[in-house]
Every structure is written in C-alpha cells, then in structure tokens.
Amino acid sequence: MAVIWGLDLKDMQWGKFKGSYMFNKVYHLRRAKMIVYQIAMILCVCSESVGTASLSDYVDQQDGISTRSGGRAMVHNNYIVGIFSYNIFVGIAVATIFGSGFFFDLFWPERHESASVKLAWKICSVVVSFMALADALALTVIIATHSAHISGVSPEEAAFWFRSNPKPNRVYRHYSYNIGSVVLLWPGVVASFASTYIMWKSIQHNDIHGPKAAAYRTEKPNGEEASMDGPQTAPKPVNNSTTDATSAPASSVPSNIQPYPGT
C-alpha cells in the first residue's frame, strides 16, 4: 500500500470506525477528541447548510422582484447575503481543521509530526475558532437588528412587492432559517474553542510522553489493535534454582555396604 507523508494508507480501515476502537482508552484524550471534534464540525457545517438555503432564498427574492418590476425595484439585502457567504467559509474552515484532526487521530494515532506541522495545527485551530466567533457575533447582530428594503419605487409599491414575495421574510429575525443557522452556530463556536484546547493539550502530551495514555505507555504491542486489550502483564520469571521433586535423581545405595554378620 502507498505511503504518503509517512502515513501508510493501509491503516485507513472501516473497522476503525467501530466504537470499541474509536473510543478506546489507549491514547491520551482520545475519547474527548473523537467526540468534541465531531460536535464542532457537525454543528458549524449544519449552520452553514441552513444558512446557504436562506442565502439562496434572499438572492432569488432579490432577482425575482427586480425582474418583475422591470428593474425599477432594487432589493437591498447585502448584509444577510454577505454574512451567510462568510458563514459558508467558516463552516468549511472548521470542518477542514477539526475534521482532519479527527481522521488523522483515528487512522494514524501514533504518527510522527515535525515541529512545524504541530505549530500549524495550533495556529489553524485558534484562527478558525476566532473566525467562528466573529461569524456568530456578526450573524446574531444582523439577524436581530436588520431587514431588507427596496429602493427605486414608492413605499407603497415596495410593500406590494414584499407581499407578492413573502418568502423569505424581509425582517431577518422572523425567518426560521436565519434563526436555525445562528442557533446551530453558537454551540459550534463553543465546541470549536473546546477542540482547540484539547488539541493543544494533546500535542503537549505527545511531545513529553507520546500519544498513549499512562496505563498503556509501557506496552510494546505489535500493532495498534494489539494495544486495545489493555496492558499486557509480563510473564513471571522462572526460578531455575528450584527443581521439581519428581525430576530429582533417586539416591543410590552405596555398593560397599556389607550385610549384618549375624544374618
């Protein structure tokens, strides 16, 4: 099997997605990483998906009103379009960093990384976490305080066009997709910062003690799967100084013993 960047591709096995392997205690912080990394990327990607649906609705509304009004009515919803575009980028970034961390720790938990690679993990995790925080703050403010409006026509005609195109709601906080996206994003931000902390602590532990947990650190298994059954007890030493009684040689009668004279 091919080896890329020191990673043997034969280690990419479906069996490693089993709970007994994914959540074992062999490696330090393994359970925390497997759970929190997934929470961060799933929530941010779900927020991105819901936001993409809302973004598509607002763009369609903008194009539809402009077309049906002959280009006179111009819908202004750049705030929601812009923040949802950024939300897509953030969702992809979070999923890329912590998704990669998830799969690398799942398939190659004992891989060797250079100092520059470890530094890149740390920097990227912090950057995407603050990007997600900025996204959540901006999205919350825009949805809570902004709404779309129409220029180029009278207020009465603008209201008519919005009534003719009720979906999505011109008031951003009244559209369910917008609320769903921001509600999913905030827990994703918390999980992203938690993932960053776990990643930093894991790298620090690996630099000092290696990837394995304390109870498994003295093992020398033949492979990763061999270490899943727990520490192996060393065989008891054989005491060579003692011999089995059954194997001891029988004492022989001396040949020079004479019978008793009176017999």
Q: Where are the domains of the chain?
A: 32-219
Distance CA 145, CA 182 (A): 14
Measured CA to CA in angstroms, residue 152 lies from 72, 160, 224, 258 at distances of: 6, 13, 68, 140
Distance CA 245, CA 250 (A): 10
pTM above 0.85, yes or no: no
- Spatial contact of 119 and 171, defined as CB atoms under 8 Å apart: no
Quick check: bond before 249 cis, omega within 30?
no
Per-residue pLDDT in tens (0 to 9) along the chain, 263 residues: 677 766 767 767 787 778 777 888 888 888 899 999 999 999 999 999 999 999 999 999 999 998 888 888 899 999 999 999 999 999 999 999 999 988 888 888 878 888 999 999 999 999 999 999 999 999 999 999 999 999 888 889 989 998 888 889 999 999 999 999 999 999 999 999 999 999 999 999 888 887 888 877 764 443 343 333 334 444 444 454 444 444 444 444 455 545 545 43
